[in-house]
A and B are shown apart, each in its own frame.
Chain A
């Protein structure tokens, strides 16, 4: 029982982080139509900025979220306002833009990853933070804190999407950008904000990951791959689907890892094959 409880709790934590990563990825694809292959690199960037602030000025990793999230948001906003908007305006059709923007994001992947390698090298690091077990349980406190942050970010983002003017504009733009424009939404601005928000979520996930797992400058791509799996699992473009998919994948991953660690990635793909056979459009797909 205790073992099962610990598996569920660590699974929930991983699931929370994966959900955060995937919601960000889904926001970029579902609204801005950019299949951002470099998404994971900004997780790495978030992790390393946290690590760097932690080792150089001894900044609490939770406080560093206040730095990483806005900084990476601005980077994302700027990337969209320059690079992706230009591609969007020159592409003859949406399908062409999706191809171009994916290639551009491949380029970003190498640029960001190699810049990080020049700065931080390629060895493994970890931020030692709250690394003590909670009394009576085997779960380290830092994991519970990270899970708490995921939940808070998820709830705040949900309220933002459903209660605010900009949040509603984002949902409307995801459904029909042309009509959203006719209602008065400045589409270019909303797309850049969505791209920035998506990256900021990657950055937050990265900061949390640095307190729980070992980090390397090459860590990004595996998270991008997982985000793609989660987003297909949850239904392309669906934010709720990405949340559910992330949590499901997190728990399954911990279950499998407990019994047979080498099987984790195989389990991901088995789940996705079964799901796509049963529900080709994903959990929340239409």
Chain B
């Protein structure tokens, strides 16, 4: 479904990603793990069109998307739920969700989609008229995820949803990711919470200093010595 081939990119003259290739099949739940500043966020940004690759290609459902603008990519059904929520803080919860349904394809049906999102996140419905910035950290993450789902994506890129949340809320977030996967949505998850990530995902890639160093099924990675030492503190 998503194929990244020989991707290199960076900021200004600083190269961040080096000849990176990965692929995600339809219906898969794939994780991308690695330390801070390993290039995980940069990779998601390049896939969703926020950043341009220096070289290499990105293909989504057989279509080259590496020269497209972010608004065209989300319209194809690939939604990016950004790091640290990035909500429209001066807009209400409802308006944030509406913005998620901005593509013409989904705008008309936004009321129905919102009902679906409210079923996934009942707390958002209780708070739908509040300004986004008045929500708690966990609620803000729910809203960011709900907003990303309003465009009825076939695949979502999720960047560090557990960041800065209390353990009980983190568990809730992972539960929701599981249920999204069960609904047939393909997921590429970036996480620093390696232990829980490897429990929910099918496969994972390990990225270090902008290069892929390891990949495989989560059960394989859980047993891998390097992963154990560097990421699971075993």
Tell me the A residues contacting B by CB distance below 8 Å.
92, 165, 168-169, 171-172, 175-176, 178-187
Instruction: Classify the secondary structure of B's interface with A.
Output: loop
| Least distance between B217 CB and chain A CB atoms (Å) | 30
A185, B104: Cα distance in complex, Å: 10
B residues touching A (Cβ–Cβ < 8 Å)? Answer: 12, 48-50, 69-71, 74-75, 80, 82, 86, 88-91, 95, 98-100, 102-103, 107, 147, 151
Known: A182-B70, A184-B151. A176 touches B98 (CB 8 A): no
Please state if B102 and A171 are interface contacts (CB–CB under 8 Å): no
Residue of A nearest to B85 (CB): A179
Q: Say how far A209's CB is from chain B's closest CB, in angstroms.
A: 32
Distance from A65 Cβ to chain B, minimum over Cβ atoms (Å):
30
Residues of A within 8 A of B88 (CB): 171-172, 175-176, 179-180
B167 to chain A, nearest CB (A): 28
Q: How far is the CB of B162 from the nearest CB of chain A, in Å? A: 20
Residue pair B102, A169 in contact (C-beta under 8 Å): yes
Q: Could you name 8 residue pairs across A and B whose Cβ atoms are closer than 8 Å?
A: A165-B107, A169-B102, A181-B70, A182-B71, A183-B100, A183-B102, A183-B151, A184-B102
Instruction: Check A185–B71 contact: CB distance below 8 A.
Output: yes
Chain A residues within 8 Å of B49, by CB? 181
Looking at the complex, which one of A165, A172, A187 makes contact with B91 (CB distance below 8 Å)? A172
> Chain A residues with Cβ under 8 A from B95's Cβ?
168, 171
Q: How far is the CA of A103 from the CA of B99 in the complex (A)?
A: 34
Contacts of B71 in A (CB 8 A): 181-187
Pairs of residues from A and B, 8 with the lowest C-beta to C-beta distance, nearest first: A184-B102, A184-B103, A181-B70, A179-B86, A184-B74, A184-B71, A183-B102, A182-B70
CB A174 to nearest CB in B, in angstroms, measures: 9
Partner of B74, one of A165, A182, A187: A182
Whole-angstrom distance from the CB of B47 to the nearest CB of chain A? 11
Query: Closest chain B residue to A169 by CB distance?
Result: B102
- B99 contacts A169, C-beta separation under 8 Å: yes
Please, which residues of chain B bring their CB within 8 A of the CB of A176? 86, 88
Q: Once the chains bind, are B98 and A168 in contact (CB under 8 Å)?
A: yes
Q: Which single member of A165, A178, A185 contacts B50 (CB below 8 Å)?
A: A178
* Chain A residues whose C-beta falls within 8 Å of the C-beta of B48 in the assembled complex: 182
Chain A residues with CB under 8 Å of B86's CB are 176, 179
How far is B71's CA from A180's CA once the two chains are assembled, in angstroms?
8
Considering the complex, give the chain B residue whose CB is closest to the CB of A93. B12
Determine the chain B residues whose CB is within 8 A of the CB of A183 once the complex forms: 71, 74, 99-100, 102, 147, 151
Known: A168-B91, A172-B99. 15 other contacts (CB 8 A): A168-B95, A168-B98, A168-B99, A169-B99, A171-B88, A175-B91, A181-B49, A181-B69, A181-B71, A182-B71, A182-B74, A183-B102, A184-B71, A184-B102, A184-B151
- A180/B50 contact (C-beta < 8 A), A172-B91, A175-B90 known: no
Q: Which of B95, B99, B147 has the most CB of A within 10 A?
A: B99
A40–B160 Cα distance when bound, in Å, is 47
Considering only CB atoms, which chain A residue lies closest to B157 in the complex? Answer: A182
Partner of A181, one of B12, B50, B107: B50
Instruction: Give complex CA distance A207, B231 in Å.
Output: 67
- Cβ contacts under 8 Å, B147 to chain A: 183
Indicate whether A171 sits within 8 Å of B91 (C-beta atoms), given known contacts A182-B82, A183-B151, A185-B71.
yes
User: How long is the Cα–Cα vector from A187 to B86 in the complex, in angstroms?
Assistant: 17
- A176–B74 alpha-carbon span in the complex (Å): 17
Q: How far is the CA of A182 from the CA of B99 in the complex (A)?
A: 10
Across the two chains, which residue of chain A brings its CB closest to B147?
Answer: A183
Q: Please tell me if the beta carbons of A185 and B102 are within 8 angstroms of each other in the complex.
A: yes
A168 to B101, alpha carbons, bound, how many Å?
Answer: 12
CB pair B89 A165 closer than 8 Å: no
| Residues of chain A with a CB closer than 8 A to B100's CB | 183
Name the distance in Å between A247's Cβ and chain B's nearest Cβ. 22
**Which of A171, A178, A179, A187 has the most C-beta atoms of chain B within 10 angstroms of its own C-beta?**
A179
Residues B90 and A171 in contact, CB atoms below 8 Å apart: yes
Residues of chain A lying within 8 A (CB to CB) of residue B80: 182
Residues of B with C-beta under 8 A to A186: 69, 71
CA distance A175 to B91 in the complex (A): 9
B5 CB to nearest chain A CB (Å): 23
The residue on A at minimum CB distance from B106 is A184
A175 touching B89, Cβ below 8 Å = yes
